[in-house]
């Protein structure tokens, strides 16, 4: 029996609780955190290079067509995420979260690095654009299993009373990765100018993904399997249902998973639609919106939004901590109502000429995104049981990301160009948050409670003793 299985068996033998060890929890947080930094580093780099990459890969088109093509390339990444979510989600429920997290991170980092080596249109013609799309598709497929496997892993590894706090580090890592990528692009633009970026300096941020990925992979290799999955695997092995292999695996039927979990999966789709349409509008579209629709200087647009993104990332663990205290639903209701009420005023401020008003408008969009993201990472996993959590979440999350998240920049840009009204972006976000508000009403409160069908996770032996004693008392009373 492996070390992970022994840990899981011990958790089962105690009867009611799993005591989370701080050393293993620290490794789990670092290992998942760096993966999300890596994934969103690429999103930040690509999002902030949309205007730059157009002339490199499609120089014969007009600027508007170049922007639409690059936003479409960005969106194509997300169209393949559901397939990645299905494959890696099924694999994570079958062989474990740890192994899948290694595979997804390695592939995302390698694809990002290879984009930096691509020849441009001047060298190989339209094949350059085709290769770019293919590498973005590979990224999307792998990223489809990255976040959902990470959020499953950290939720199964964290203490129940602090699950919101620790899970929120994942989205904080995502936004820090975005800020890191965007900051590197901005620094290069300021230091060398836009023409130097078009001439070849655009490769540098992608090539940096090589050493960053190596560090992230090293940290991820040090994590142990989540206690809940290890316990489930040990239970299956003790009952002879893993085939007696050296590396046992569970039997997972995706079709049965979907039939059994369609209601919570639908909730995830709706929640992701609300949160990530606003999130991607803020992170991936705002630089393009400020530079193309409002005609601000590209560097100036970056400087407006980057400090706010950094503030959002810092706030997310605090939001998660608050959700542990007051509950997930109040935080999600506040985020939904905020977007519905303040999106139009936010875009009116952004459309003004005053820098202070632009910053205030961006903040009115960014802060509810922090409320959404800081709460949802711990909300999603609580809707499913350990046996099917990764598959259910991987598919539902990524289907919604493909439909409403990664496509949000392209949809919003198209709506603005079609209507001629910059407020079309606000109306789109309002509609998505109305959907989210309805979904929140049906989400069961999970703050401070064990994950569905799992033993409680606690921090101390005293907590374990109290829960064990209470469990015995309830059993005796029955």
Tell me: pLDDT of 10 over 50. no
pLDDT of residue 7: 39
Tell me the pLDDT band of 333, cut-offs 50, 70 and 90.
Answer: very high
Burial class (CB in 10 A: 0-12, 13-18, 19+), 186: buried
**8 A C-beta contact, residue 105 and residue 220:** yes
pLDDT of residue 6: 39
pLDDT of residue 472: 60
**8 A C-beta contact, residue 374 and residue 320:** yes
What distance in Å separates the CA atoms of residue 132 and residue 144, rounded to the nearest whole number? 18
Check residue 291 and report its DSSP letter: I
The model's pLDDT over 286-325, given as tens digits with 9 standing for 90+, comes to 766 777 666 666 666 667 778 888 999 999 999 999 999 9
Stretch 339-366: mean pLDDT = 88
Tell me: pLDDT of 427 over 70. yes
Helix (H, G, I), strand (E, B) or coil at 297: coil
End-to-end CA distance of the chain: 36
Tell me: pLDDT of 405 over 70. yes
Range with the poorest average pLDDT among 12-21, 349-358, 369-378: 12-21
Range with the poorest average pLDDT among 91-95, 155-159, 437-441: 91-95
* Overall residue count recorded for the chain in this entry: 478
pTM (two decimals): 0.84
Tell me: pLDDT of 142 over 70. yes
pLDDT of residue 66: 85
Check residue 100 and report its DSSP letter: H
Tell me: pLDDT of 86 over 70. yes
Tell me the pLDDT band of 231, cut-offs 50, 70 and 90.
Answer: confident
Stretch 217-228: mean pLDDT = 82
pLDDT of residue 471: 61
Q: Tell me which of 461 and 343 has the higher pLDDT.
A: 343
Mean pLDDT, the chain, as a whole number?
A: 84
Residue 154 main-chain phi, psi, to 5 deg: -70, -35
Domain spans, the chain: 13-238+255-477
**8 A C-beta contact, residue 93 and residue 390:** yes
Q: Tell me which of 446 and 455 has the higher pLDDT.
A: 446
Tell me: pLDDT of 175 over 70. yes
Residue 227 main-chain phi, psi, to 5 deg: -60, -35
What distance in Å separates the CA atoms of residue 456 and residue 452, rounded to the nearest whole number? 10
Per CATH, the number for 13-238+255-477 is 1.20.1250.20
The model's pLDDT over 235-272, given as tens digits with 9 standing for 90+, comes to 766 666 555 554 555 666 778 888 888 999 999 999 99
Strands (E), 224-314: none
What distance in Å separates the CA atoms of residue 92 and residue 225, rounded to the nearest whole number? 11
Q: What share of the chain is helix, strand, coil (3-state, %, to 5)?
A: 80, 0, 20
Output the CA–CA distances (angstroms, integers) from residue 165 to 85, 162, 304, 359, 379, in the order listed: 24, 5, 28, 28, 12
Tell me the pLDDT band of 124, cut-offs 50, 70 and 90.
Answer: very high
Q: Tell me which of 254 and 442 has the higher pLDDT.
A: 442
pLDDT of residue 296: 67
Tell me: pLDDT of 36 over 90. no
Place of tokens 């999350």: 397
Burial class (CB in 10 A: 0-12, 13-18, 19+), 200: exposed
**8 A C-beta contact, residue 301 and residue 291:** yes
Q: Tell me which of 436 and 99 has the higher pLDDT.
A: 436
């Amino acid at each position: 029996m492996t070390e992970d299985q022994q840990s899981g068996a011990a958790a089962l033998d105690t009867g009611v609780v799993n005591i989370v060890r701080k050393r293993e929890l620290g490794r789990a947080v670092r290992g998942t955190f760096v993966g999300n930094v890596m994934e969103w580093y690429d999103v930040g780099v690509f999002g902030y290079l949309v205007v730059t990459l157009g002339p490199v890969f499609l120089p014969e088109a007009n600027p508007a067509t170049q922007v639409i093509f690059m936003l479409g390339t960005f969106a194509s990444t997300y169209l393949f995420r559901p397939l990645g979510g299905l494959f890696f989600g099924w694999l994570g429920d079958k062989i474990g979260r740890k192994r899948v997290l290694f595979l997804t991170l390695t592939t995302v980092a390698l694809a990002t690095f290879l984009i930096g080596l691509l020849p441009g249109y001047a060298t190989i013609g339209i094949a350059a654009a085709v290769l770019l799309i293919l590498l973005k598709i590979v990224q999307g497929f792998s990223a489809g299993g990255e976040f959902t496997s990470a959020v499953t892993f950290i939720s199964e590894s964290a203490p129940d009373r602090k699950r919101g706090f620790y899970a929120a580090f994942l989205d904080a890592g995502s936004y820090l990765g975005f800020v890191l990528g965007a900051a590197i692009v901005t620094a290069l633009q300021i230091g060398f100018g836009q023409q130097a970026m078009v001439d070849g300096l655009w490769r540098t941020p992608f090539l940096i993904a090589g050493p960053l990925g190596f560090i992230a992979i090293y940290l991820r290799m040090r994590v142990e399997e989540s206690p809940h999955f290890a316990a489930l695997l040990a239970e299956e092995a003790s009952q002879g249902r893993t085939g007696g292999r050296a590396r046992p695996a569970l039997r997972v039927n995706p079709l049965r998973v979907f039939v059994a979990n369609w209601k919570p999966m639908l909730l995830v789709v709706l929640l992701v639609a609300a949160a990530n349409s606003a999130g991607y509008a803020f992170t991936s579209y705002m630089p393009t919106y400020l530079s193309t629709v409002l005609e601000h200087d590209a560097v100036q647009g970056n400087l407006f939004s980057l400090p706010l993104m950094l503030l959002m990332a810092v706030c997310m663990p605090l939001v998660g901590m608050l959700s542990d205290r007051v509950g997930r639903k109040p935080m999600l209701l506040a985020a939904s109502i905020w977007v519905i009420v303040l999106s139009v005023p936010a875009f009116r401020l952004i459309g003004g000429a005053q820098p202070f008003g632009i910053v205030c408008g961006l903040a009115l969009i960014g802060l509810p995104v922090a409320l959404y993201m800081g709460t949802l990472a711990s909300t999603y996993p609580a809707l499913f049981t350990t046996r099917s959590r990764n598959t259910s979440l991987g598919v539902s999350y990524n289907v919604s990301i493909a439909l409403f998240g990664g496509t949000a920049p392209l949809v919003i840009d198209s709506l603005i160009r079609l209507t001629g009204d910059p407020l079309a972006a606000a109306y789109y976000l309002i509609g998505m948050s109305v959907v989210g508000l309805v979904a929140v009403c049906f989400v069961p409160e999970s703050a401070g409670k064990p994950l569905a069908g799992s033993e409680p996770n606690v921090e101390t032996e005293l907590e374990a003793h109290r829960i064990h004693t209470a469990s015995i008392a309830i059993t005796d009373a029955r």
